Amino acid sequence: MKTILVIGGSGFIGRNIIEAYLTKGIKLIVLSSGYHSWLNEIKSQVTVLEGKLENKSLIENAVKEYNVDLVLHLASSLIPSSNFSDFQNEMSNVIEPTFWLVNMLAERGIKLLYFSSGGTVYGNSSKSEICESEPLSPINYYGLSKVMIENYIQFAGSSLSLNYLILRPSNVFGRYQPQDRPQGFISVALSNLLSGEKLTVYGNGDIIRDFIDVQDLTFLTLKLIEKGVKNRVLNIGSGVGNSLNEIISILEKELNKKMYVEYMPERAVDAKKVVLDISKLNQIISFKPKELELGIRDIINKEACL
């Protein structure tokens, strides 16, 4: 039985991954920075450690005690609109501790699977579909933090023999995504439409994003682990672009309700178009992403109880 340590597993992506992996007979150790009722509900099935990434002794002892085979790293406190002060905190709380983690795992021969950000590391690329070899040029602190960690992981791969897999998910949406954070356009837009609150859109709504359902991301992550893929960087997306205005139209149609939208001046931190080339992923796993409309309908049915 494989033993996986999940760092940053209390977020919505982590929750989906944990619940899916429990059905596969994988032993899970979850590092959580606070109390979460859903983790408490499954505490008989997982080992929950209360702490943060900077708690080095806690993590190192867990790796030894539970004979961890693989570490999934999802931890981040930033969003695309984060400022320099937020970035400084990320340096202390996530980036520098990750450098330590990478070294420790390399020494012990433990594989690291790192969740980067396909939506922010490329910046304003001119390509219609962005492949993994495209130069990294982040335009916000969130993307910068991901690139810094990616670079160190790949450095450790070549110089310290670290086994790693870097995933660059596009804009992930779906089950359990919080609606009270300024991140996750679909979730926020749905919440505002249901409550009748105005939705703030920066720019004219023509920004294009590649949206992927979190259940697709969960499926792909598990398959890549099962196949033992290592020392690769892979885009994870749908390969299809949709504008924010298109998302609004889909939600309005599904709920038969008009959205109140306030368009504000565009922000320098927002890339104008990000659609990922997923051809490398498809060479490894035959993958057909869930259609966007179906994914949105699933959220409405499951979370809005309509």
* Structural domain count, the chain: 2
pLDDT the model gives residue 41: 86
117 and 15, same structural domain? Answer: yes
203 and 148, same structural domain? Answer: no
pTM for this structure?
0.95
178 and 69, same structural domain? Answer: no
Query: At which residue do the structure tokens 């599904």 appear?
Result: 254
Q: What are phi and psi of 134, to 5 degrees?
A: -60, 135
187 and 154, same structural domain? Answer: no
pLDDT the model gives residue 180: 67
115 and 189, same structural domain? Answer: no
Strand, helix or coil for residue 120: coil
Strands (E), 55-183: 70-73, 111-115, 164-169, 171-173
266 and 201, same structural domain? Answer: yes
Q: Which domain holds residue 289?
A: 174-209+240-276+285-303
CB 170 within 8 A of CB 212: yes
pLDDT the model gives residue 177: 87
Q: What are phi and psi of 232, to 5 degrees?
A: -135, 160
For the segment 173-187, what is each residue's pLDDT rounded down to a tens digit?
Answer: 999 887 766 678 999
164 and 291, same structural domain? Answer: no
Q: What is the DSSP letter of 213?
A: E
CA pair distance 186, 119, nearest whole angstrom:
15
pLDDT the model gives residue 306: 42
Tens place of pLDDT per residue across the chain (306 aa): 689 999 998 889 999 999 999 888 889 999 988 778 888 888 889 999 999 999 999 999 999 999 999 999 999 999 999 999 999 999 999 999 999 999 999 999 999 999 999 999 999 998 999 999 999 999 999 999 999 999 999 999 999 999 999 999 999 999 988 776 667 899 999 999 999 999 999 999 999 999 999 999 999 999 999 999 999 999 999 999 999 999 999 999 999 999 999 999 999 999 999 999 999 999 999 889 999 999 999 988 875 444
CA pair distance 220, 222, nearest whole angstrom:
5
219 and 113, same structural domain? Answer: yes
